[in-house]
Amino acid sequence: MPKVQPVFNPDQNLGQLIVKVLEQTPDAITQISDDTNVSVTCGEMRDRILKFAVHLNSLRLKQSDVVGVIAGNTENIAPVVFACFLLGLPINPLAPIMIESDIIQVYSKTKPKLIFCDVNNLKIVQNAVDRMKSEAKIYTVMEKIDGYECVTDILKKIFNFEDLIYPELDPNSVIFIPCSSGSTGPQKGICKTYKELLSLFVPPTIDSHILYQSTGLFWFSGIYFLLYGALFKCLRITTAQSTTAELFFNIIKKYEVTRVSTAPYLIINLLQLDNLEPLESIKMWMIVAARATEDLCLKLKKLCQMIVDDNGNALDNNQQGEIYVKKDYKLTGYYNDMEKFKQVYDGEWFKTGDIGYIDDEGFLYVIDRKKEVLKYNNMQITPVELEEIINQIEGVVSSCAVGVLEEKTGNDIIHAFVIVDNMKNITEDQIQNYVNERVIDNKKLRGGIHFLEKFPTAITGKIDKKKLRSLAIENFTN
């Protein structure tokens, strides 16, 4: 498959590029906040970026000084982020719902000089800063509160930004530090450079001019949609609210959104709406933050991935193993945590921690996380193969299989948590019997079936299997 070249020269200042693109269509609307109904034109966004860049310059920050963002998708987040990109100040976003210990765990390594937050999580952020004995300056993004500067007030000031000098920046310098999902241990800051961000964007294949940015910057899809909207002159719809199925549906219909990105759980909830109608405006729907099934596969250039066994030996087509990937550029690493990075990257191949295989046509199938693979009598079992059987049953909405270690045998006792359609008459025993009749003895659901109204989710939107495992241990293990 021929390699698709990026649209933009990756060796340039990303912030300066955004400003130039905005200047091309100053009267076009680039952003609408569904929370406030405030529209921002490209010209207004450009002015906000430059105003805030002047303010940041006055603080005498140096390139590579980290800026923390723990705020929702309000209308002033974009100019803050773009101004930082303009000046070479790396952004390290966290979820606004993070507790003090989570903030400390990440920011004790990245050590931000500034932190932007919302009023409703200001106390938590301030307490975390105090406990770290950090001198980071805290801003509120939208609302003013005594003792703190507010971005809204700064943007109302008059600045002479016409003489602003764009600094020379190394395209290989770190500019964005998202966190790992936490599925393999404590969250780690992943270093992303200007070159890596600009290399994400390839020529659009569809007309998708209205984007719904339903995720925050702490999701990689959040920064992708933020940048995509600015660089491709799209209208971007934002909200600081947590995206429920009802809110998602209403926004799509209201703005005739053409491109969205969601986790699978939102689709499951969407299908349960009584007033659901066809969402005909959507031209591209990106499904993220969960494993892919065989119906959701991605054809990649084979030279860029390899399937290996537990000893690191390459496997043939249709054999399952860990997926290794190789990129065109050298990965930068985890922020201030290179020892952990060396465990997963050898300078050429990155160990994804995902289990999958490549078929004879070159399609890559992502099956599960390596750490989620279960064992019973030395046989490896991927939860997804059991979930796919459960999901075939009429009345089952979704399922998640987890293992609880039985210490005396060393085996994983498999439990399945299931969401069902309340209108269907189906029991736990029926599901368990259906599965156990179709699998070998090692794969039987010895832990049973447990009904839930909804799955617990982590801040990334993924199903929180740790909580499900704890639930199985606390309530269903003798």
The full set of domains in the chain, from first to last, is: 14-287 (3.40.50.12780), 303-370 (2.30.38.10), 373-476 (3.30.300.30)
CB burial class (10 A; 0-12, 13-18, 19+) of residue 468? buried
Instruction: Assess contact for 309 and 321: CB atoms under 8 A.
Output: yes
**Whole-angstrom distance, CA of residue 317 vs CA of residue 358:** 5
At residue 56, does pLDDT exceed 60? Answer: yes
Phi, psi of 266 (to 5 degrees): -70, -35
The average pLDDT across 156-185 equals 82
**Closest listed residue to residue 428, CA positions, set 455, 451, 406:** 451
Structure tokens at 440: 């070998």
At residue 229, does pLDDT exceed 80? Answer: yes
Q: What is the reported pTM?
A: 0.71
pLDDT of residue 207: 66
Residue 66's pLDDT band, with cuts at 50, 70 and 90, is very high
Supply angle C-alpha 93, 71, 91, rounded to 5: 25
Structure tokens at 92: 């390290």
pLDDT of residue 289: 59
The one-letter amino acid at 124: I
At residue 372, does pLDDT exceed 60? Answer: yes
